[in-house]
Structure 1
Amino acid sequence: MAVLTKAEAPPPPPGRRRLLYRLQVLRHDPTAALGLILVVVLGYLVVAPLVAVLSDSARLQYGDEIHAGQRPGEWTGYYLWRVFRSQISGLLFWEPLLNTLVVAVGTTLFALIVGGGMAWLVTRTNVPGRKWLAGALVVPYMLPSWTFSLAWLTLFKNERAAGQVGILQSVGIRTPDWLAYGPLPIIVTLGLHYYPFVLLLVGNALRRIDVQLEDSARILGAPQRTVIRRIVVPLMLPALSSAVLLVIGRVLGTFGTPYVLGLPADYRVLSTGLFQSIRDRSTGVASVIAMVIVAIGILIVLADTRMMREHRRFVTVGGKGAMDRLSDLRRWRWPAFALGVVVFVVSVLVPVLTLLLSTVTRTPLDLSTFTLDYWLAEQLPGAVGFPHGVFRGSELWAAAWNSLRIVGLASIICAVLGLLIGYVVVRGTAPRVAAFLRQVSFLPYLIPGIAFAAASLSLFAVARGPIPALYGTTFLLILVMAVTHLPYSSRSGIAAMTQLGREPEEAAQIAGASWWQRMSRIVFPIQKGALVTGIILPFVSGLKELSIVIMLTTTGTQLLTTLSIGLVDYGYTQLANAVVLVIALVSFTMTYLTQRLTNSSLASGLGG
């Protein structure tokens, strides 16, 4: 029998040659395969939870078959009827919706007045200490949002809620329920937290307005009200509309403040109503409420995008020197500075010092009762659920370790995933894959945190195919934390990869470097700034996150934020305040280190 040599062997068939060629290309440039993997991962982690919560709202859950007259698992409109049309729909949905709108509008107006006024002060006037004010006035945004609500309780709490009464009540000043709990304190405390958000948006917009336009109008005889109405307001509309819509979106998904200040007065908003429905195991009702919150959140961001497109025609053309000219306050310079200091004191020093004072005195305002028991005592009299100081026992340290471990791992995953998404979007050759990754990675930004947590709980609470039930595991917390902060890291990754040319990678590829070598020795080192930012910013945000994790934690996965809320439920106000101070200290320290490492500032460009 004749034996064919290698040279005489017949070539492989065309189909096999194409497969071998594609495998060879894939080995040197697996961008396409990486894109498909990311599509599957994001599809399951972002899209699937929304599909699951939609399915739960339309399928009958176990335990409801008697009320609905259907078998579990069947398609049903029972939950839609129960939420929107039943006799208790007012309690379940319509009253919380109205309360949410009241809180959102009130908070937005408060934040606009305070934040807008401070923005004008530090960007358009010669107030003394502009640079210091610009940095000091954004500090409230670094604190957990319910820091202000706990401080409010410490000041105004009356005997209606469990635990020690507030400072005013303890000195004989009766605080009515409307002042201690309900919409007014919720609006004020949320406004104090979100006004720096308006300050940053409006302040940066004010800096871009050329004052030559205003001067020209005045020279032509236009009165001040006409200048404001025809020039300043149209140029400010993009920033104002963004501030309004994004503050409303943030308020829609916030949980801690409405829970702390609304629960004693039975004042429910959509976020606390959703949490209560899940606590009551009303999965179908919770799914309907979650879908409503998701829909409102998406509509808000889409409206913001639409407004930004409409307002792009309002542009500023002028010289930089004219844009930087400041209004002279003359004899009002120091009173204006004093006003800025008052805002800082009310929004930062008063809440923090109030919380601190409550943790070191047994009787409010009585320094003779100074004690460190709430921090260090081995046994607190009368305490049952948390019988010792916060630094004693294992609860605080276990929660701190869980927070650092879970948030840290989630931040690393988020940063790496964001850079890989940016790589595929910029370097990939499949436009549909790039468009899908770009849009889906941004989708969690459109969804309020507590609604996305409810959707994730709906998907991962039970085993589905090869994926086991993840509820109660640290893995689920890490996944949800990473996904909810993905919009920031993915946008950062896309921007970073857009600025990196292909030449270094092409040179390395010609030299024989594999794809992994190119990524590990070229892309990641060059983009280490984006990676560091993508890790630290989600880490700082995740440390003070409550809305996302409140429904996903269990006894074994307690975080610092959920520990503080649990202490509020027990009525241990001083202990809850101590834990919040620990969170605030860590959050502020990490924010400061972030700004030092990245050579940036939240208030950059506002003052001085």
Structure 2
Amino acid sequence: MVITDARPPTVPPPDAGPPRRRGRWRYRLSVARHEPTLLIGLVLILLLLYLVIAPLVAVLSDAVRVQFGDQPKTGQQPGELTGYYLWRVFRSQVSSIVFWQPLVNTLVVAVGVTVLALLLGGICAFLLTRTNIAGRKWLSTALVVPYMLPSWTFALAWLALFKNDRSGGQVGILEARGVQTPDWLAYGAVPIIVCLGLHYFPFVLLLFGNALRRLDAQLEDSARILGAGRGTVLGRITLPLMLPSLSSSTLLVFGRILGTFGTPYVLGLPVDYTLLSTSLFSAVRNHEPGITAVIATVIVVIGVAVVVADARLLREQRRFVTVGGKGAMDRIIELGRWRWPAGGVALGVFALSVVVPVVTLALTTVTTTPGVFSAENFTLKYWLAEDLPGAPGFPHGILRGTELLDAAWNSLRIVGLASLVCGVVGLLVGYVVVRSDGSRIASVLRQVSFLPYLVPGIAFAAAFLSLFAVRRGPVPALYGSVTLLVIVLAVTHLPYASRSGISAMTQLGREPEEAAQVTGAGWLTRVRAVVVPIQRGSLVTGIVLPFISGIKELSIVIMLTTTGTQLLTTLSINLIDFAYDQMANAVVLVIALVAFLATYLTQRLTRTSLASGLGG
């Protein structure tokens, strides 16, 4: 045998290295062109890092760097490191007004709202899921309606009923009829807690009700067979098993209060009752970016701590898993003669949270003097008048002129574009995470897309204001632009769309795509012809649900809009600032109608219901 080449076959010829490397890169590019999942995931990660992490880094930087115009206060040049803003917020003579008192007020309101929401939501959830309460199916849907309304709807209705002459302008219905309302009842902590509690109790109702629905009733039956009374069963069996859901509801409601702006602004401003959210807004309005950054950072830290605590509780939930037959889980308690009174209780909650606020606001828009229901007092001037004497800032009814139409158009196009972007990106996130499951890109993308949920809305708006208020490198200043509003609304609602996309893609196997790939279909063709048609329902949900939230959003947009980008929500708040209460109430009714119609159409299109887990 003649050996012509003694070199091992695994060793390439000396001149084969560069061409072989070039061949590997050509192969990888070819693979990426036909299967670009990981490449899309990498692009999404880079984009979200800039739109989620960079704003937070910018606001942190503003908290410790001298801002333009503050040289005389700090004795330093703009951009230098400083502790002035930290001292100003935490240790100065005005720190009590700027931070500490708003922090105490925020904690008081958060605790009060959480207790009220848990009380109302827990009672209603138990009645709807575990009893044969009268009107159960209808109430399961009706009691979710308060969450569809803008949160400050309740605040405006409260003012229409209880407003006194302290804040100027027209008094409320009670005061107009000779009933004196004290300041503590008209403004401040009590009305804020009641109004926010009525808004957020459906959130508890859904979480707590779905958990009750899954609870195995066999455990309660076993305890009763052994002689335990109803109180013992409730305290020793039901409540301990419901502890994870109860804790999660408590923390999430508590966390949402941090970013709530409309209700504290409307009901707290007349008596200088400030929360962290309104103190943050005051700092923005007073052009104090350093103080704004410090307060926003505190809100972010508290919000992150709340969500992290909730995540830990969810991991602990495994300790409370029960095993039982599915048929035993829907055991209904027969109320007998108490069936109708229990239905009356739930109906009363619906009346207080929906009927009373909406009817009150509607009456204020069609009466000249509140509380007087004579024929000559009814009017449509606040809706239709061409000229309103004494209202120079808004001299006509809301259906006249262009203000309402412009705000409605801005809301529809900005929120609509943001929702479309949110839905498409959410589906792409779900596609990448599921199709590249187990990869580092999938893990990072899943976490980054959820990060906006950790940040309260008004703090996130402050972070975006810090990043995009001035030009940074190739990115121009975007403050006051439609682009910035679309971006911030899309990013803040991305966690919901991405989780919807991940859930939907998890249920879609690879077989339909592989079949299309065998026929020669490229990636774009497969997505357009296979994935999108199959996931149409998920895509619609990922678009419409952010639209519903965005159309009534105030906390996120209040600091980012200008005269040219006025939305329905900011138009309502501006009318409140001018003491045009009737027109402000009319605009809120328009917002509520749009949100309700969008919710109804969503449920019809997707054949789902927000109350699907409550037995309705």
Runs of 5+ unmatched residues, structure 1: 1-9
Match of 1:3 in 2: none
CA distance in 2, matches of 1:437, 1:456: 21
Runs of 4+ in 1 over 4 A off after TM superposition: none
Q: How far off its partner does 1:11 sit?
A: 11
CA contact (8 A) 1:270 1:289 kept: yes
Match of 1:424 in 2: 432
Where 2:388 maps in the other structure, the secondary structure is coil
**Quick one: which of 494, 503, 511 aligns to 1:495?**
503
Q: Does 1:292 align with 2:292?
A: no
Which stretch of structure 1 is more off in the superposition, 529-538 or 68-77? 68-77
CA distance in 2, matches of 1:534, 1:363: 44
Q: How far off its partner does 1:429 sit?
A: 7.0
Q: Does 1:139 align with 2:145?
A: yes
Match of 1:261 in 2: 267
CA distance in 1, matches of 2:262, 2:127: 31
CA contact (8 A) 2:433 2:442 kept: yes
CA distance in 2, matches of 1:218, 1:256: 48
Match of 1:6 in 2: none
Q: How far off its partner does 1:435 sit?
A: 1.4
CA distance in 2, matches of 1:503, 1:78: 61
- 1:451-530 alignment, distance < 5 Å: 451-530=459-538
Match of 2:384 in 1: 376
CA distance in 2, matches of 1:103, 1:601: 31
Match of 2:60 in 1: 54
1:336-367: CA deviation from partner (whole Å, max 9, x where unpaired): 11111111111111100000000001012323
Q: Does 1:111 align with 2:117?
A: yes
CA distance in 1, matches of 2:18, 2:267: 74
Match of 1:16 in 2: 22
**Quick one: which of 399, 413, 434 aligns to 1:405?**
413
CA distance in 1, matches of 2:343, 2:515: 57
Where 1:606 maps in the other structure, the secondary structure is coil
CA distance in 2, matches of 1:25, 1:216: 60
Q: How far off its partner does 1:317 sit?
A: 2.2
CA distance in 1, matches of 2:366, 2:404: 18
CA contact (8 A) 2:52 2:491 kept: yes
- 1:427-442 alignment, distance < 5 Å: 427-428=435-436, 431-442=439-450
| One-letter amino acid matched to 1:37 | V
CA distance in 2, matches of 1:351, 1:73: 49
Match of 1:44 in 2: 50
Match of 1:574 in 2: 582
| One-letter amino acid matched to 1:541 | S
CA contact (8 A) 2:174 2:371 kept: no
Q: Does 1:79 align with 2:61?
A: no
Match of 2:204 in 1: 198
Where 1:538 maps in the other structure, the secondary structure is helix
Name the count of aligned residue pairs: 599
- Cα-Cα RMSD: 1.4
CA distance in 2, matches of 1:205, 1:81: 46
**Quick one: which of 129, 141, 164 aligns to 1:123?**
129
Q: Does 1:31 align with 2:45?
A: no
Which stretch of structure 1 is more off in the superposition, 554-563 or 423-432? 423-432
| One-letter amino acid matched to 2:594 | V
Identity fraction in percent: 70
**Quick one: which of 364, 372, 376 aligns to 1:366?**
372
Match of 2:12 in 1: none
**1:506/1:11 CA distance change after superposition, 3 Å:** farther
Where 1:160 maps in the other structure, the secondary structure is helix
Runs of 5+ unmatched residues, structure 2: 1-15
Query: What TM-score do you get using the length of structure 2 for normalisation?
Result: 0.95
Match of 1:4 in 2: none
Where 1:168 maps in the other structure, the secondary structure is helix
CA contact (8 A) 1:471 1:552 kept: yes
Match of 1:302 in 2: 308
1:208-248: CA deviation from partner (whole Å, max 9, x where unpaired): 22222112112223343332222111111111011100101
Match of 1:598 in 2: 606
Which stretch of structure 1 is more off in the superposition, 265-274 or 199-208? 199-208
1:121-177: CA deviation from partner (whole Å, max 9, x where unpaired): 111111111111111111111100000000000001111113211001111111111
Query: What TM-score do you get using the length of structure 1 for normalisation?
Result: 0.97
| One-letter amino acid matched to 1:550 | I
Q: Does 1:312 align with 2:327?
A: no
| One-letter amino acid matched to 2:328 | A
CA distance in 1, matches of 2:217, 2:18: 74
CA contact (8 A) 1:59 1:72 kept: yes
Match of 2:156 in 1: 150
1:301-324: CA deviation from partner (whole Å, max 9, x where unpaired): 110111111132112322333322
CA contact (8 A) 1:32 1:429 kept: no
Match of 1:415 in 2: 423
CA contact (8 A) 2:206 2:613 kept: no
CA contact (8 A) 2:461 2:488 kept: yes
CA distance in 2, matches of 1:581, 1:162: 23
CA distance in 2, matches of 1:85, 1:25: 59
Q: How far off its partner does 1:607 sit?
A: 3.1
CA distance in 2, matches of 1:20, 1:328: 71
CA distance in 1, matches of 2:228, 2:24: 73
Q: How far off its partner does 1:528 sit?
A: 1.0
Q: Does 1:555 align with 2:563?
A: yes
Match of 2:9 in 1: none
**Quick one: which of 351, 355, 362 aligns to 1:356?**
362
CA distance in 2, matches of 1:148, 1:111: 14
